Amino acid sequence: KAGVTQTPRYLIKTRGQQVTLSCSPISGHRSVSWYQQTPGQGLQFLFEYFSETQRNKGNFPGRFSGRQFSNSRSEMNVSTLELGDSALYLCASSRITGTGGGYTFGSGTRLTVV
Amino acid sequence: DQQVKQNSPSLSVQEGRISILNCDYTNSMFDYFLWYKKYPAEGPTFLISISSIKDKNEDGRFTVFLNKSAKHLSLHIVPSQPGDSAVYFCAASAGDTGRRALTFGSGTRLQVQP
């Protein structure tokens, strides 16, 4: 079966711009979570969506937002980009919400802010 | 404040020997622990997990040990194979059902020498 698909794979943006990343979960998975990976920081939880509702949110500023559509696809938006937002953004899907496990991750979108 | 710590950024082991990856945590509310493996340009892949009610979980060559009093867990890979070379992330979760997220460590890069 198809895995978690993230687009685009690579992105270069300028400080102050905004960016939208997309995630298509595995068919049948209704939960989508987003994580940020930066060098030396591991993966940090951004937020989780289930049935188009945000169920959980990490400790990130309001510039980071997301949404989920009725087909479970999710988008993440970062506004007013800063250099420190350069990271690998990973999306993970699971059948049920908020279990803290059982995730299948996508390959990520590498965002570079210049 | 890192709640999940992997203090060894890298580990090198000979093929056929045991690989031991360590992880420490500070949040006593964590009650579910997982290990993920990540190859370059791919998303993390779930390896093995353990609930806090257990102290050991085994799956083929992979065994996870949990020492709750020391707030320490370890992943043992026996025997190690060159294909095991990857970055290994320890993760933990806590919270009410439906509102859990994963807290990751910063990863340990394992290199298995042929």
Contact flag B42-A107 (C-beta cutoff 8 Å): yes
pLDDT of residue A35: 95
For residue A49, how many C-alpha atoms fall within 13 Å in the half-sphere facing its CB? 22
pLDDT digits (tens, 9 = 90+) for A31-50: 899 999 987 677 899 999 98
The per-residue pLDDT for A16 is 98
Q: Which residues of B touch A98 (CB under 8 A)?
A: 95-101
What is the pLDDT at residue B95?
Answer: 72
Q: How far apart are CA B54 and CA B71, in angstroms?
A: 13
Tell me the CA distances in angstroms from B91 to A87, B19, B62, B81, B107, one per residue in order: 19, 18, 16, 23, 10
Supply the pLDDT for residue A23: 98
Cβ–Cβ below 8 Å for B102 and A100: yes
Using 50, 70 and 90 to split pLDDT, how confident is the model at A99?
low
Q: Which residues contact B105 (CB under 8 A, 6 or more apart)?
A: A42, B2, B4, B5, B6, B23, B89, B90, B91
What phi, psi does A84 have (nearest 5°)?
-70, -5
- Cis omega before residue B82 (within 30°)? no
Identity of residue A112: T
Alpha-carbon distance B48 to nearest alpha carbon in chain A (angstroms):
10
Report pLDDT for B71.
97
Chain B residues with beta carbon closer than 8 angstroms to that of A97 = 98
pLDDT digits (tens, 9 = 90+) for A55-82: 889 999 999 999 999 999 999 999 999 9
Phi, psi of A83 (to 5 degrees): -55, -35
**Nearest CB partner across the interface for A43, out of B2, B49, B104:** B104
Is pLDDT at A1 greater than 70 in this prediction? Answer: no
pLDDT tens for the 114 residues of chain B, in order: 789 999 999 999 999 999 999 999 999 999 899 999 999 888 999 999 999 999 999 999 999 999 999 999 999 999 999 999 999 999 998 876 656 788 899 999 999 999
Residues of chain A with C-beta less than 8 angstroms from the C-beta of B102: 33, 35, 43, 45, 100-101, 103
- State pLDDT tens for residues B67-96: 999 999 999 999 999 999 999 999 998 876
A28/B contact by beta carbon, under 8 A? no
